[in-house]
Amino acid sequence: MNKDLQIYNTITRKKELFEPINPPFVGMYVCGPTVYSDVHLGNCRTFISFDLIFRYLSHLGYNVRYVRNITDAGHLEGDRDEGDDKFAKKAKLEQLEPMEVVQKYTLGFHDVMRTFNTLSPSIEPTATGHIAEQIEMIKDIITNGYAYEKDGTVYFDVEKYSKEFDYGKLTNRKLEDLLEGTRELGGQDEKKGRLDFALWIKAKPETLMKWPSPWGWGFPGWHIECSAMSTKYLGETFDIHGGGMDLQATHHTNEIAQSQACNHTVPVKYWMHTNMLTVNGARMSKSAGNGFLPGELFTGDHPLLERGYSPMVVRFFMAQSHYRSTLDFSNQALQAAEKGFLKLMKAGETLKKLNATTSSSVSISELKENCYAAMNDDFNSPILISHLFEAVRIINSINDGAEKINQNDLDELKFIYKTFVFDVLGFKNENTSDSGNSDLTGELIDTILNLRLEAKKNKDFVTSDKIRDILTQKGIKIKDTKDGFEWEM
């Protein structure tokens, strides 16, 4: 195994993107939500970006083990081991047991992820479910000489670590610069060094979530959970570690140090960081109070929203920017996204009805290559979407009779649509509930409407009207056409 420190903040290589990474297995770890409150749209951007990456790698044939954790303990309000425990604070506020807080917001998070049509990760481990693994890891780090205990709290010794390893490597910053950005230690501080961070924190008498350990009752620091769980499920060195860019400087820097100090190896081959969703240029965050909840966005019930937008329009809006670029929220951008998304879905419906001719006047193989090239170039979804709009143009021209397509090309065009629009970008047609796969609901409605057609042909209007009334009651709009029928949900 290559022990050289290989850190890529971004992946910019093209076709051979993942060839060096133990094909066909890919281990991917993404820092999940801290479940003490509802996820906002910024959090969703990060998880939807990794859903796209998971979907594309799976499409390429990689066997991806996608681990996305749930942080349900050990998250203090301050970045430097100070402040209240977020879970305890919320539990007091909502008059709930802390694990009720965890349950409530975990379920809410899953609902939101389903609404955005994201796939479930392969494993979703929780910090509270892995206290033993975290304690074992801390014990090893102490044994290896990179951590020390002070009155029931265990600190990682950054100064000692920095003598052998480049602590600031991930953000390309020197130790002196990092030190400059932190406050001097006071007489009260237990830490030896300004950059030292807690691996285990001693419980106060009022601490609600605490566990026994070799250092007494306490709870784990935030960073150790990800090192312990990623090592457990993906090994000491794994392929991809992701999260939002805000996690790079502290959380991920500390994860590297912990894993290196414990396992004597670099934990991650490729670091991938998503950029921030911003509102009027400011990062969307829970603390800034500018975080829309997905529900508010769908209903339009927020002072900054002119109206509501559907989950797939929001997903489209996100896919229109590259995951490493910032994405600024605006009503205008969402309205443009809505137009684009509806155009893409409408062309998908038209595609189903196209007929092949003996020859083609369009080049579908080039289109397919372009789609793959876009995704192979660091998962460039905006470029992919621009190629899919070329597909839309082709579909509409064939439909208008301006271009023609043979059967082979038509099959390829359908493959492109199914693969990239539905399987990779993760869209679904909210009107027809088409998700590109054989859709049972759609097939059943088609079957019923074909029976209705037969009834009409046999002049059995009682049955045909009954079928129409039942489907109309269920919210299905039926339009009789000269070739048969069209329907919408």
Using CB under 5 A as the criterion, which residues of the chain lie in contact with Zn ion when the complex forms? 31, 226
The answer to whether 270 and 13 have CB atoms below 8 angstroms apart is: no
Distance of CA 462 to the CA centre of its chain: 50
Phi and psi for 55 in degrees, rounded to 5?
-65, -45
The answer to whether 274 and 41 have CB atoms below 8 angstroms apart is no
Residue 284 binds which of ligand AMP, Zn ion, none (CB < 5-8 A, kind-dependent): ligand AMP
Q: Is 223 in the site for ligand AMP (CB under 6 A)?
A: no
Q: Give the nearest distance from C-beta 226 to Zn ion in angstroms.
A: 3
Q: How far is the C-alpha of 11 from the C-alpha of 371, rounded, in Å? A: 18
Structure tokens at 385: 């979407």
**Residue 28 interacting with ligand AMP (CB under 6 A):** no
**Contact call for residue 112 and ligand AMP (CB under 6 A):** no
Q: Is 121 in the site for ligand AMP (CB under 6 A)?
A: no
Interface with ligand AMP, residue 133, by CB under 6 A: no
CB of 335 to ligand AMP, least distance (A): 21
Instruction: For residues 468 and 334, give the distance between their C-alpha atoms in angstroms, rounded to a whole number.
Output: 35
The alpha carbon dihedral of 160, 161, 164, 167 has a sign of negative
- Cβ distance 294 to 263 under 8 Å? no
Measured from the CB atom, is 42 or 98 closer to ligand AMP?
A: 42
Q: Judge residue 214's burial from the number of C-beta atoms within 10 Å of its C-beta, 0-12 exposed, 13-18 middle, 19 or more buried.
A: exposed
Using CB under 6 A as the criterion, what x/- string covers residues 372-411 for binding ligand AMP?
A: ----------------------------------------
Q: Which is nearer to ligand AMP, 43 or 134 (CB)?
A: 43
Among 27, 42, 98, 348, which residue interacts with ligand AMP (rule: CB under 6 A)? Answer: 42
Pick what 244 binds: Zn ion, ligand AMP, none; C-beta below 5 to 8 Å, kind-dependent. Answer: ligand AMP
Minimum CB separation from Zn ion for residue 318, in Å? 21
Binding residue count for ligand AMP, defined by CB under 6 A: 17
- Does 201 interact with ligand AMP (rule: CB under 6 A)? no
With CB under 5 to 8 Å by kind, the binding choice for 429 among Zn ion, ligand AMP, none is none
What's the length of the chain? 489
The residue among 55 and 223 lying less far from ligand AMP, judged by its C-beta, is: 223
* Under rule CB under 6 A, residue 221 binds ligand AMP: no
226 binds, among Zn ion, ligand AMP, none (CB under 5 to 8 A by kind): Zn ion
| Given 244, 348, 426, 442, the residue binding ligand AMP (CB under 6 A) | 244
Q: How far is the CB of 309 from ligand AMP (least distance, A)?
A: 17
Each residue 281-320 as x (binds ligand AMP by CB under 6 A) or -, in order, gives: --xxx-----------------------------------
Reduced to 3 states (helix: H, G, I; strand: E, B; else coil), residue 260 is helix
Strands 153-156 and 147-150: antiparallel
Closest of 373, 414, 407 to residue 391, by C-alpha? 414
248 contributes a contact to ligand AMP by CB under 6 A: no
Which residue number is nearest to ligand AMP in terms of Cβ? 244
Instruction: Specify the residue, 34 or 360, whose C-beta has the smaller distance to ligand AMP.
Output: 34
Instruction: List CB contacts of 391: < 8 A, sequence separation 6 or more.
Output: 347, 367, 413, 416, 417
Our finding on whether 69 is near ligand AMP (CB under 6 A) is no
Q: Which does 191 bind (CB under 5 to 8 A by kind): Zn ion, ligand AMP, none?
A: none
Axis crossing angle, helix 41-59 with helix 311-319, rounded to the nearest 10: 70
DSSP per position, 321-375: S-TTS-EEE-HHHHHHHHHHHHHHHHHHHHHHH---BSS-SS-HHHHHHHHHHHH
CA separation for the pair 441, 423 (Å, rounded): 18
Measuring CA to CA, which residue among 216, 212, 211 is closest to residue 152? Answer: 216
Binding partner of 126, given ligand AMP, Zn ion, none, CB within 5-8 angstroms per partner class = none
Binding residues vs ligand AMP (CB under 6 A)? 31, 33-34, 42-43, 45-46, 243-244, 246-247, 274, 276-277, 283-285
